[in-house]
Amino acid sequence: DTEVTQTPKHLVMGMTNKKSLKCEQHMGHRAMYWYKQKAKKPPELMFVYSYEKLSINESVPSRFSPECPNSSLLNLHLHALQPEDSALYLCASSRGAGGPFFEQYFGPGTRLTVT
Amino acid sequence: AQKITQTQPGMFVQEKEAVTLDCTYDTSDQSYGLFWYKQPSSGEMIFLIYQGSYDEQNATEGRYSLNFQKARKSANLVISASQLGDSAMYFCAMREENAGGTSYGKLTFGQGTILTVHP
């Protein structure tokens, strides 16, 4: 089973709201990722967690706050977002983060609209 | 310089025919991995196929095969017997072993190719 689940599928939020995106995998993977993707563009890496510790933050604004409560779960907390943050947010996982050999499995994404 | 180049913004193919999607890459690492992903309009990124830099055989997965030419730094995806459901965006991606400590775990994507399969 190579399933990564994400909730919600769609989210509309105002610029003053606080919301969270959730990602879950039960493949025993030890690395999890958040990506942001604009229409017709490749995904852009935001964060990498390895063994539940944040290993990469790609200079993401602090209005995005990741959290990895356990090895199966990854959250992205959103606060005071801007309209330009509207995008598809993809979660992914892989067996490990290091080395070139681990394929990443992606979830279906959350389509976020900031009004 | 771009690490992954996909030169075909869009490709068209007739159903049941084969199609090749181009991908060239740039790295100074000896150890790296190349991946292809499919993204239908629904948004999910679907892993298709993987080729390691040390693999001597071209990777194959069902109707997908990867034409790996290491000296030319190319990793083209070949889809045989195209189906209407193959219509999607296709991304080539690379992970390097020694991308640097700040790039640990990073997957670098190309700009993608939109494939349209005609009946």
A contact residues 39-98, partner B, Cβ 8 Å cutoff: 40-43, 45, 48, 50, 55-56, 88, 90, 92, 94, 97-98
Q: What is the pLDDT of residue A100?
A: 66
Query: Residue B63 class from Cβ within 10 Å (0-12 exposed, 13-18 middle, 19+ buried)?
Result: middle
Per-residue pLDDT 10s for chain A (115 aa) are 569 999 999 999 999 999 999 999 999 999 999 999 999 999 999 999 999 999 889 999 999 999 999 989 999 999 999 999 999 999 999 987 776 678 899 999 999 999 9
Three-state DSSP at A100 gives coil
Q: Closest to B45 (Cβ–Cβ): which among A55, A101, A106?
A: A106
The two structure tokens encoding residue B118: 């005609």
Q: Are A89 and A29 in contact (CB under 8 A)?
A: no
What is the pLDDT, as a whole number, of residue A52? 93
* A52 Cβ contact list (under 8 Å, min separation 6): A68, A70, A71
Strand pairing class (B10-14; B113-118): parallel
pLDDT of residue A31: 92
